[in-house]
Every structure is written in structure tokens, then in C-alpha cells.
């Protein structure tokens, strides 16, 4: 059990990465599951190409955009990819928690599919970055250059954000602008200081 770990999760477009960057600015250690995924994809290029074909490659490397376009249209393919990647990602995340855990300070683990995968039994504290579905849809349409239907499909591949909000131990609301988000993060950090008296921020 990692007592000092706080899982940071949400859904596509909710702004987890922005929150993670703010937390880093405030001096917190953040373990990034997305970065770990990238490393695992690179190490397993041959195996993943064997499963999904050479169409996912660009200059001999896996194009995350091409792979994403392929799996987000097909739940079976998405499941195949996740079954291959997630045990490896989880093991690496746990390994990366060992050092910060000893410090006795709170640290964060950014895991996009924490609730969907339901296989991170060593984490008990969960922070959900929240925004309403309509806001999520508009954000990912803009960011990923998707139409209305494509954006909706991406969101529907993950657990509903309202359900995640109910299950969370902590919620950081990201429905407004950056100023609003920063005030939400500071409110959350203030709460942390009550639990960690030695926290100086």
C-alpha cells in the first residue's frame, strides 16, 4: 500500500495534465503514466506492430495518433492493446512509487484509466479532475480536431465523469478558466497541509 500516493485521474479533456503541471510547479513529485506508456510502446514496437499491423508506424516508430485512430474505432482492438500494455504500465508505476513513498511527503500518480482498469489495488486516495461532459466534448473537438460524433465516441469509451466524481476522495473542478483551476488546486493543497504538517508550500 502506497500511503502517500494520490492518484490523479479524470477523463479525456478534463485537464489532468494541466493539473499535474501545476502540482509540479508547487514542488510535488508527479509520476506520469502517459510517459511510462510512451516508453513501453517504444520498447515493444515489434510486438505491437505484429498485433495491429504496419499501418500504425511512422518512420519505423509507433505513431500514437495512428494507433489511437485504429483502436478508438474498435472496442475489441482497444481491449487488446490495454490488456497488453496495462500490466506493464502498472508494474512500472509501482516501481516508480518506491522512492517518493519513503520521503513521507504526498506525491501524485497521473493515471488516466484508473477506474476503468480497476487493477491498482495499492492506491487508496483518488483525486478526480472534473468538468461536465459538454465542456469535455468542446475541449477535445478543439484539441484533437474531431467532429461532434467523434468527440462523443472518445468520451463514451471511458467511464462517465459524473460516476468518477462520485467515487473520488477529492475533486478538483476544471470547468472554468486557468485562474479558477489554480484556486481549486490551492484549495486542495490547503487540505493536504492539514494531513501533512511538514508540508511547506
Q: Give the SS3 label for residue 124.
A: coil
The verdict on whether residue 13 carries a ligand-binding annotation is yes
The verdict on whether residue 176 carries a ligand-binding annotation is no
The verdict on whether residue 17 carries a ligand-binding annotation is yes
- How many Cβ atoms sit within 10 Å of the Cβ of residue 26? 11
Q: Give the SS3 label for residue 15.
A: coil
Q: Which long-range contacts (CB under 8 A, 24 or more apart) does 136-143 make?
A: 136/11, 136/12, 136/13, 136/14, 136/161, 137/13, 139/13, 139/15, 140/12, 140/13, 143/13
The verdict on whether residue 10 carries a ligand-binding annotation is no
The verdict on whether residue 183 carries a ligand-binding annotation is no
- Write out the binding residues for ATP: 13-18
Which segments are annotated as binding site? 13-18
Amino acid at each position: 500500500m502506497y500511503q502517500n500516493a494520490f492518484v490523479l485521474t479524470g477523463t479525456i479533456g478534463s485537464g489532468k495534465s494541466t493539473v499535474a503541471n501545476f502540482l509540479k510547479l508547487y514542488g510535488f513529485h508527479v509520476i506520469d503514466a502517459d510517459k511510462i506508456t510512451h516508453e513501453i510502446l517504444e520498447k515493444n514496437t515489434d510486438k505491437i506492430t505484429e498485433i495491429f499491423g504496419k499501418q500504425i508506424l511512422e518512420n519505423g516508430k509507433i505513431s500514437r495518433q495512428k494507433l489511437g485512430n485504429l483502436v478508438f474505432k474498435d472496442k475489441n482492438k482497444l481491449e487488446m492493446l490495454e490488456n497488453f500494455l496495462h500490466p506493464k504500465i502498472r508494474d512500472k508505476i509501482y516501481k516508480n512509487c518506491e522512492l517518493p513513498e519513503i520521503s513521507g511527503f504526498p506525491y501524485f500518480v497521473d493515471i488516466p484509466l484508473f477506474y476503468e482498469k480497476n487493477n491498482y489495488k495499492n492506491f487508496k486516495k483518488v483525486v478526480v479532475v472534473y468538468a461536465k461532459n459538454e465542456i469535455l466534448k468542446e475541449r477535445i473537438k478543439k484539441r484533437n480536431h474531431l467532429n461532434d460524433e467523434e468527440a462523443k465516441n472518445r468520451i463514451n469509451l471511458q467511464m462517465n465523469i459524473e460516476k468518477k466524481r462520485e467515487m473520488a476522495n477529492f475533486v478538483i473542478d476544471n470547468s472554468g478558466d486557468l485562474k479558477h483551476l489554480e484556486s481549486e488546486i490551492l484549495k486542495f493543497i490547503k487540505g493536504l497541509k492539514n494531513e501533512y504538517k511538514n508540508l511547506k508550500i
